[in-house]
Amino acid sequence: MNSIQQKVTDSLSTPKVEYPGNNVTLPLVSVIVPAYNCAQFLPEALDSILSQHYPNLEIIVVDDGSSDGSAENAEAYGSPVTVIRQKNQGPAAARNRGVRESHGEYLAFLDGDDVWLPGKLLAQMEYFASHKDVGIVYGNFKRWGMNEAGDYPPKEAFITPQPNGGIDNNEPGWIYHKLLLGNIVHIISAVIPRSLFDTLGGIDESLRVGEDYDFWLRASRLVQAHKLAIDVALYRTNPGSTTHIPRSINNEQVVLLRAVEKYGLASPSGVAISEEQIRARLFKLSFGHGYLHFWHGSPQVALLAFTDAIRHDRKQVKAFVYCFLSYLRCKFSRSTEPTH
């Protein structure tokens, strides 16, 4: 048993846990759980929070217009869980609503179909206690996909021996410039002070996808982030999730361009990425958006996306090929439309 697991076990019999070397009790953490039609998985998510055995937390489930009994499943837990119902408004609105109804000094988030791994919350809060200059503490997450039988393997299969504390030295401090190359912070893996959330004005509810990426980009302009060198969560991959639905707007690219226009390519520390790197990132986003629409969405959107990809990198032959094929598909679809 590693040190983190031992501390979690000890907390079962200790009404108040104190930081090592400090006479300060653990602060209240509000865990916000947006839930939309995830009744099948929600109990496992809530159990993973309660099994943290962190002695000072509140759990707020925001049911975002579910029709499958998700709210009822959460309400069955009684007093450890507060359930708020609202009409469907998307994950950003659900998280903001949960924060407004919460009381914690710190905030953590877990989607209703994902789970936390043992020791996550205690390890992060202990890190905050000794690193007052850090505004985001997050960790590794693992993707949790179905096996060949169409089932999700038990989460216990992902629990492996963990390092005895410490941070990932590849992701320290001011991370804005690294976020420009990809969202390295998953919202289910992070804990933040409530004051940071309030300062940023919450999560942008106009974004149905990419809202967490936008939040971390804005947050990384204000505070440092440290990544613990441990696995803290499992992200359940679902073919029917919103991230796999073709949308006409490339939200992640919109978020990225907005950040670059406002903040540039450098972190507050002065470390920056190059113009070549940002062009490569924009090419990847445009090509990926076009590829999704080429096979599963609109050929018109695909054509525009591949055209944009070519603008970012004219050396990528595959973009020209898919652009031409998208053009033919658009032309063919118009020629086969019925006339009146």
Q: How large is the average pLDDT for residues 32-41?
A: 96
Q: What is the mean pLDDT of the chain?
A: 87
pLDDT bucket at 12, cuts 50 / 70 / 90: very low
- What letter does residue 302 receive in the DSSP assignment? H
Q: Is the confidence at residue 215, as pLDDT, over 90?
A: yes
Q: How large is the average pLDDT for residues 124-153?
A: 86
Global pTM reads 0.86
For residues 88, 89, 93, 98, the Cα torsion angle rounded to the nearest 10 degrees is -10
pLDDT bucket at 267, cuts 50 / 70 / 90: very high
pLDDT bucket at 151, cuts 50 / 70 / 90: confident
pLDDT digits (tens, 9 = 90+) for 192-212: 999 999 999 999 999 988 999
The CA distance from 211 to 208, in Å, is 7
The CA distance from 117 to 340, in Å, is 60
- DSSP string over 32-67: EEEESS-TTTHHHHHHHHHTT--SSEEEEEEEES-S
Contact 82, 31 (CB under 8 A): no
User: What is the per-residue pLDDT for 52?
Assistant: 94
pLDDT digits (tens, 9 = 90+) for 280-292: 999 999 999 999 9
Q: How far is C-alpha 219 from the geometric centre of its chain's CA atoms?
A: 14
User: What is the per-residue pLDDT for 132?
Assistant: 87
Contact 207, 214 (CB under 8 A): yes
Burial 39-68 (b: 16+ CB within 10 A, else e): bebbebbbebbeebbbeebbbbbbbbbbee
pLDDT bucket at 41, cuts 50 / 70 / 90: very high
Percentage of the chain exceeding pLDDT 90: 73
Q: Is the confidence at residue 170, as pLDDT, over 80?
A: no
pLDDT digits (tens, 9 = 90+) for 103-113: 999 999 999 99
Residue 92 CB contacts under 8 Å (≥ 6 apart), including other chains:
203, 204, 205, 207, 208, 211
